[in-house]
A and B are shown apart, each in its own frame.
Chain A
Amino acid sequence: MNNAHVPAPVSPFQRMLKQLCIDVETLFECRSTRFEFAQDVFFAAALFYVVHDAQNSWLIGKPWPLWVLSWLLFGWTVFWSILHVVRRFHDLGRTGGMFWAVAVPFWAAGRMIDLFHLAEKGHAVWWAWGLLLLFCSWSIWLIVQLFFRRGTEGPNGYDGRDFYQQAEIR
């Protein structure tokens, strides 16, 4: 077998995708303090609530471009929240991948509630609610940490590319 590594041609579109990916990755690399995190998450939550409310009342019967706009705003709030959860985990010295540990159990619990119509059954299935709470307990603990735990002191490996570049320049 030939082990020579010959560079492969890269198309302009692939170069553009590469740059886009670098930009997105850089965006997620920094750290957020508790205050910044709380501020951004509450802002996103408020916007989410306003858009949701508008979709259920004011937007009914309105032209479709307004609906598209509302869904774009919806998507943006979700992206904004994920971004700050990842940055806050970085501040705690943990990988941004921990976002999944927060999101997946809640998503799965929501699916369970839908599938088995737990909301309609209410207190009659208290044991199912208890199981779901147990299932989400670690995620809840992580959320508490995101809001209240102080970030690590000094560089922790998640400070972002600019931080280290500046450090090298100095």
Chain B
Amino acid sequence: MTIAPKAKSEWKDAHVHPPGFRARRGLNWFTVGLLYSMYYMCRYNFRFAGPGMRAEFLWDPQQIADLAGWFSLAYGTGQLVNGLFSDRIGGRATMLIGAIGSIIVNLVIGFSPWTSSFLAFATLWMINGYIQACGAPGMVKTNAAWFNREERGVFSGIFGFMIQSGQTMISLLVPVILNGFTFLAFVVGPGQWRMLFTLPPIGVALVAIAFYFISSPSPDEAGYEKAIHDDVDNSAGTTVPILESFKFIFLNPLVWFYAVAYACTGAVRHASDQLAPLYFEDVLGFNMKTNLPEIAVGTLALIPMVAVAGSVLSGWVSDRFFRGHRYPVAMFLYYMESVVIAVATVVMANKFIGPSAGGILLGCLFLVLIAITANSTHSIVGAAAPMDIGGKKMAGFAAGVIDSFQYYGAAIGLFVTGRLLRVSDGNYTYMFGIMTCFAFFGGCAMLALLFRQQGRRAASRAVIAGMALLVVAAVGLGVPKYRAQKAAHEIKVAAEAAAQAEAEATAAAEAEAKAAAEAALPKRIAPAMDDDTFEKKAKPKAHKKSKKSKKPAAQAPAP
């Protein structure tokens, strides 16, 4: 027997499950994943509502980016807290609580009259962010109990599929809602962005009901005892006291390496996801408010497909060729991602991306390539690694800690990107530049972990020191430059405002002069008077005047 069939045979022997287990696991996985993907329907609706809200409430891109950033902060904090609670109450209960909460908040946003206030909307959106954070820890915790370590990579790839299917569903639903439709007696007009917050919760509610009946927190409770061996804690049950989970995860160094890397994934993934509609409008010149162009819809639908392919492949590779170790694969992916985005930055800086045929194609292509690399790391670092670290009993908090950093990273990335876009008058080269730095930083975090796991502590520390130096250099060089650009931008904006005020004053003066001239003309006597009567009433005066003026002329001696 050659090595490959032998390895295949060993793999097969190690993964023999009792009759019906694979089908039952598939069913469980399907309901859990479907509910998680429906969560995305109540979260990604915001990015499509953004252009409509910007038009209606006159919010600028920075405010939209800030909203996305605050959502990320709330979501990240929610991951930490809810992850810990999910270890106590179980993944299934956590997911159900999150679904119900998200439905309520979305409906409040959709029907409430306060959404026009930026502060009110931001508050509601942050609450939604916190509640949505029940999804990921709940899902990871439930699935940790259903999979062996060497099966989790492919699972995480399909976890990526569930996420992306949620995004695809909302991407396909949005054009229908925004273009307007009629269903029986229910009529939705075009451009009604509020409907993006009222219709998706119906789907979430239906799936939550199915989830309640079908899902099971562990194989034991579905009638499959000892079907899965947990490397961390193989005793019965899936819950532990909060303090035990907190201590075990918080003191585990692996968690922090993955958390830092995942923060970088978040910064890249969210910048490309959340700002894509604005990028389409500002750089590629599309109308994203009502009639979405086909290539924009196509790109937004293509991104999830390629992302799934990337995440399944990376998960499978880490399972098969690295025995369930995620960091070597993740490191390769981060460095590849940084190269792709660096190329995009150069192309963007040279103005090859723009509202021309080639420019649009390039712009969309880079978004797709970024999605492949970013989502591949998203699956193995965000789903597989926490399960490996925490096992079925503490995967919730492990996922919470790691995933929370994704959103803190996203918040930092979005805040910085939003401000740079503002001071640079929408120069998206900065967006790609920032994303390159984050991707490279993620690769360095995984490299440090690789050295650490190989026992090369000094090399690991050197990489960490290098990363710290990078941060200091970025802040030290970037902040003064940002301040200078901000000052220049403010001067420019002030000059533009002054010019506009002057133009308005001139226009007002002209309008006033015109009004005065019109006032000097004879007025109509009654509003109901027709033009002929007006002419008759007005002309005799003119005749009288001309007669009066003619008299002196008649008296004057002939030349």
Q: Give the interface of A toward B (CB within 8 A).
A: 1-11, 13-15, 17-19, 21-26, 108, 111, 115-117, 161
Report how far A76 CA is from B294 CA in the complex, Å.
34
- Asked whether B235 lies within 8 Å of A2 as measured between CB atoms, the reply is yes
Contact of B305 among A6, A9, A19, A111 (CB under 8 A): A111
Binary flags per residue of B9-24, CB closer than 8 Å to A gives 1, else 0: 0000000000111111
- Asked whether A22 lies within 8 Å of B20 as measured between CB atoms, the reply is yes
B283-314 interface (Cβ within 8 A of A): 294, 298, 301-302, 305, 309
CB distance from B293 to the nearest CB of A (A): 12
Counting chain B CB atoms within 10 Å of each CB, the highest count among A13, A115, A117 belongs to A115
- Asked whether B225 lies within 8 Å of A14 as measured between CB atoms, the reply is no
- Asked whether A18 lies within 8 Å of B20 as measured between CB atoms, the reply is yes
User: Known interface pairs A7-B225, A7-B236. Does A115 touch B298 (Cβ–Cβ under 8 Å)?
Assistant: yes
Does residue B436 face the partner (Cβ distance < 8 Å to A)?
no
Report how far A4 CA is from B237 CA in the complex, Å.
10
- Asked whether B236 lies within 8 Å of A14 as measured between CB atoms, the reply is no
Does residue B27 face the partner (Cβ distance < 8 Å to A)?
yes
Contact of B233 among A3, A7, A18, A23 (CB under 8 A): A3
Contact of A18 among B223, B298, B301, B309 (CB under 8 A): B223
- Asked whether A18 lies within 8 Å of B235 as measured between CB atoms, the reply is no
Q: How large is the interface on B (under 10, 10 to 19, 20 to 34, 35 or more residues)?
A: 20 to 34
Contact of B19 among A6, A22, A108 (CB under 8 A): A22
- Asked whether B236 lies within 8 Å of A108 as measured between CB atoms, the reply is no
- Asked whether A21 lies within 8 Å of B236 as measured between CB atoms, the reply is no
CB distance from A120 to the nearest CB of B (A): 11
Contact of A7 among B19, B213, B220, B301 (CB under 8 A): B220
Report how far A111 CA is from B237 CA in the complex, Å.
43
Residue of chain B at shortest CB distance from A9: B221
Residue of chain A at shortest CB distance from B24: A21
Q: Which residues of B contact A108 (CB under 8 A)?
A: 305, 309
- Interface of chain A, main secondary structure: helix
User: Known interface pairs A1-B233, A3-B235, A5-B234. Does A10 touch B222 (Cβ–Cβ under 8 Å)?
Assistant: yes
Contact of B22 among A3, A10, A25, A117 (CB under 8 A): A25
CB distance from B555 to the nearest CB of A (A): 88
Report how far A39 CA is from B349 CA in the complex, Å.
60
User: Known interface pairs A18-B224, A115-B298. Does A6 touch B236 (Cβ–Cβ under 8 Å)?
Assistant: yes
18 extra interface residue pairs, beta carbon distance < 8 Å, beyond A5-B236, A22-B23, A117-B294:
A3-B234, A5-B225, A7-B225, A7-B236, A8-B225, A10-B221, A11-B221, A14-B216, A17-B27, A18-B20, A18-B224, A19-B20, A21-B21, A24-B20, A24-B23, A25-B23, A111-B305, A115-B301
- Asked whether B213 lies within 8 Å of A8 as measured between CB atoms, the reply is no
Does residue B226 face the partner (Cβ distance < 8 Å to A)?
yes
3 cross-chain pairs, A with B, having the tightest CB-CB distances, nearest first: A22-B20, A21-B23, A21-B20
Contact of A25 among B20, B218, B305 (CB under 8 A): B20
Does residue B472 face the partner (Cβ distance < 8 Å to A)?
no
Contact of B218 among A8, A111, A115, A161 (CB under 8 A): A8
Does residue B214 face the partner (Cβ distance < 8 Å to A)?
yes
CB distance from A20 to the nearest CB of B (A): 8
Residue of chain A at shortest CB distance from B218: A8
Contact of A17 among B222, B302, B309 (CB under 8 A): B222
- Asked whether A10 lies within 8 Å of B223 as measured between CB atoms, the reply is yes
- Asked whether A4 lies within 8 Å of B236 as measured between CB atoms, the reply is yes
Residue of chain B at shortest CB distance from A8: B220
Residue of chain A at shortest CB distance from B25: A21
CB distance from A156 to the nearest CB of B (A): 12
Report how far A108 CA is from B19 CA in the complex, Å.
32
Q: Which residues of B contact A13 (CB under 8 A)?
A: 213
Q: Which residues of A contact B214 (CB under 8 A)?
A: 17
CB distance from B465 to the nearest CB of A (A): 36
Residue of chain A at shortest CB distance from B8: A95
Residue of chain B at shortest CB distance from A108: B305
Q: Which residues of A contact B213 (CB under 8 A)?
A: 13
- Asked whether B235 lies within 8 Å of A4 as measured between CB atoms, the reply is yes
Contact of B235 among A5, A10, A15, A26 (CB under 8 A): A5
Report how far A156 CA is from B340 CA in the complex, Å.
45
Binary flags per residue of B32-55, CB closer than 8 Å to A gives 1, else 0: 000000000000000000000000
- Asked whether B222 lies within 8 Å of A18 as measured between CB atoms, the reply is yes
Q: Which residues of B contact A5 (CB under 8 A)?
A: 225-226, 234-236
Residue of chain B at shortest CB distance from A29: B19
CB distance from B195 to the nearest CB of A (A): 25
User: Known interface pairs A108-B305, A115-B298. Does A8 touch B20 (Cβ–Cβ under 8 Å)?
Assistant: no
Q: Which residues of A contact B294 (CB under 8 A)?
A: 117
